[in-house]
Structure 1
């Protein structure tokens, strides 16, 4: 039902019908049509309304473009007043004809005056033109909104297409490193990696997943990294959520910050650490990631994953997130806050 109503609201012809019905109702109430007992009076009323409607359409198609396209407001006001003046004279002359003596329309003396006809032309112009302009801007805004959403979705799909191979590359590098040092663990680790890949593939076509699913994915990835570098790196992971099932989040949005911490914080034999803290309270997700920076490193960073994630944050959350990145000689800190939305 709501979909049909929305389609009617967006349809140009239904909008035109709504404008005609609205203005015609106002016109009939203004002239007390409920007192008319003559069929001729009703026909004459429709005839007068058609003249008023023609005047409004004349303004719409010939004068209004002067305002919107040529952007000359003073010229538009002048031409509108001239048209109102001319059409009101036409109406005044018609009401003076003998054919109106036998109908109940415009019988009062003030209704036959020129001032009354001038007010009718001007009032009907406002009643017809105002909703037409409102509907026009509604259609323009709806089109622009749809185009923006489509463009954003295309950008998101493109970013996901870049981010997922980046994640795959890092994950297989992790698996390769473990298999060299601990070949007996390889079968079990392959199973864990396959679970990560399954989540990645299944969530790829989803705009949102439950926070619980995303946190399980992050936890699995951290456990994989612990298998790889846990013996020489101090890894801390703390997660406190007030209600995991209540919130939704864009899939694989947080993993780039965690990947980045392991990639750069564990690339040296020297003492290193990675600390990850995730909290959610009243819908506010707070991700705090800290990692050590080795003195010498051969890791070349393209920062593709981090760059794409920031662009996704801008597209999805706009002003509803805050990212603070700090870096010195020994420490790299990523602090992210996102206002999550609840599942409907």
Structure 2
């Protein structure tokens, strides 16, 4: 049923057919076609409708552009009235022909009057133009919506493109720091970094990924950072999900906040910490990241990752997220809530 409705709304030929069916049905009901018993009466009735339909199409292609393209409503109204008058005279003249004398349609005196023809032409015009205009505005709205979606997706892809080398740069900095302190563990850590890079590469062209895959990626990154700073930093990572494999999320969306916490929260020698809590209940993801802020930091930050991530949040989730960031003298607190989409399938 939904497919039929979508085809009707998107296909111009289906729309034309629907308009004809709707207007012809109204036309037959108005003229009591159920009392017709001869083929000749039916053919004359169809001819009468065709004239009404031609008038509506004439208005549609000749007069409507004056209203929509030239924005001259008064001229359109004037020409429409003239057109209705001319076609009403034409139909009224047809009523005087011999072929209508034996027709079972239009036998009443009021049906042969000019006022009845004027009302028929006007009513049919409204019945035909109204759905046509509705379909026209629907197509215009859909085209504009599709353009906005395409533009937003292009922006998201652009932001991801900028974010990927940023993440890669930070990850190799982490690997470099570990290799200086624990060179014997470098080979294992390279494999972990390889897994991170593989996920990043595979998820780049996808709009959404399974939430568990994204959280596994985050967990691997946290474990990598623990290898580097766990001896001198308090690191806590907790994650709770109410339903397994039930949600999907835009890939590489949360990592920038966690990266930022490790970058700035672990640069001090003493009393540094990074606390990460992720929970998902009834589709609402809640990310809370708190890290210590050193009195003097030598870390230079461009905030590219955070800026791009916030821009992606706006483009991808619109009003379905809230983000609060508190930057106190001693702590930096990120509190993010996202209403996730359902479904475990990964989209391209």
TM-score (norm 1): 0.94
Aligned partner of 1:254 in structure 2 is: 254
**d(CA) in 2 for partners of 1:167 and 1:244?**
27
Aligned partner of 2:321 in structure 1 is: 321
Q: Is the 8 A contact 2:92 2:117 kept in 1?
A: yes
Aligned partner of 2:217 in structure 1 is: 217
Q: Is the 8 A contact 2:325 2:334 kept in 1?
A: yes
**Secondary structure at 1:244 match in 2:** coil
Structure 1 residue 8: deviation in Å?
5.2
**d(CA) in 2 for partners of 1:37 and 1:25?**
18
**Secondary structure at 2:101 match in 1:** helix
Structure 1 residue 72: deviation in Å?
3.4
Aligned partner of 2:245 in structure 1 is: 245
**Secondary structure at 2:235 match in 1:** strand
**d(CA) in 2 for partners of 1:267 and 1:38?**
94
Aligned partner of 1:53 in structure 2 is: 53
Structure 1 residue 7: deviation in Å?
4.2
Aligned partner of 1:80 in structure 2 is: 80
Aligned partner of 2:33 in structure 1 is: 33
Q: Which runs of 5+ in 2 are unaligned?
A: none
**Secondary structure at 2:245 match in 1:** helix
The answer to whether structure 1 residue 154 and structure 2 residue 166 are counterparts is no
Aligned partner of 1:165 in structure 2 is: 165
**d(CA) in 1 for partners of 2:129 and 2:171?**
62
Aligned partner of 2:342 in structure 1 is: 342
**d(CA) in 2 for partners of 1:244 and 1:258?**
22
**d(CA) in 2 for partners of 1:186 and 1:157?**
33
Q: How many residues align?
A: 344
Aligned partner of 1:63 in structure 2 is: 63
**d(CA) in 2 for partners of 1:41 and 1:301?**
84
- Give per-residue Cα distances to partners, 1:263-316, cap 9 Å, x unaligned: 111122232111111111111111111111112222111111111111111111
**d(CA) in 2 for partners of 1:263 and 1:60?**
64
Aligned partner of 1:178 in structure 2 is: 178
**d(CA) in 1 for partners of 2:146 and 2:7?**
14
**d(CA) in 2 for partners of 1:239 and 1:336?**
14
Structure 1 residue 41: deviation in Å?
1.9
Aligned partner of 2:137 in structure 1 is: 137
The answer to whether structure 1 residue 97 and structure 2 residue 97 are counterparts is yes
Aligned partner of 2:269 in structure 1 is: 269
Aligned partner of 1:203 in structure 2 is: 203
**d(CA) in 2 for partners of 1:231 and 1:32?**
91
Structure 1 residue 186: deviation in Å?
0.8
**d(CA) in 2 for partners of 1:141 and 1:217?**
39
TM-score (norm 2): 0.93
**d(CA) in 2 for partners of 1:19 and 1:58?**
15
Q: Which moved more, 1:120-129 or 1:326-335?
A: 326-335
- Give per-residue Cα distances to partners, 1:166-198, cap 9 Å, x unaligned: 111111110000000111111111121111112
> CA 1:147–1:285 in 2, change beyond 3 Å: closer, same or farther?
same
Q: Is the 8 A contact 1:210 1:244 kept in 2?
A: no
Structure 1 residue 2: deviation in Å?
6.0
Flag the structure with more relative contact order, 1 or 2, with Cα contacts below 8 A and sequence separation at least 6: 2
Aligned partner of 1:300 in structure 2 is: 300
**d(CA) in 1 for partners of 2:40 and 2:244?**
71
Query: Equivalences for 1:88-127 in 2 at 5 Å?
Result: 88-127=88-127
Q: Is the 8 A contact 2:285 2:340 kept in 1?
A: yes
Structure 1 residue 70: deviation in Å?
2.9
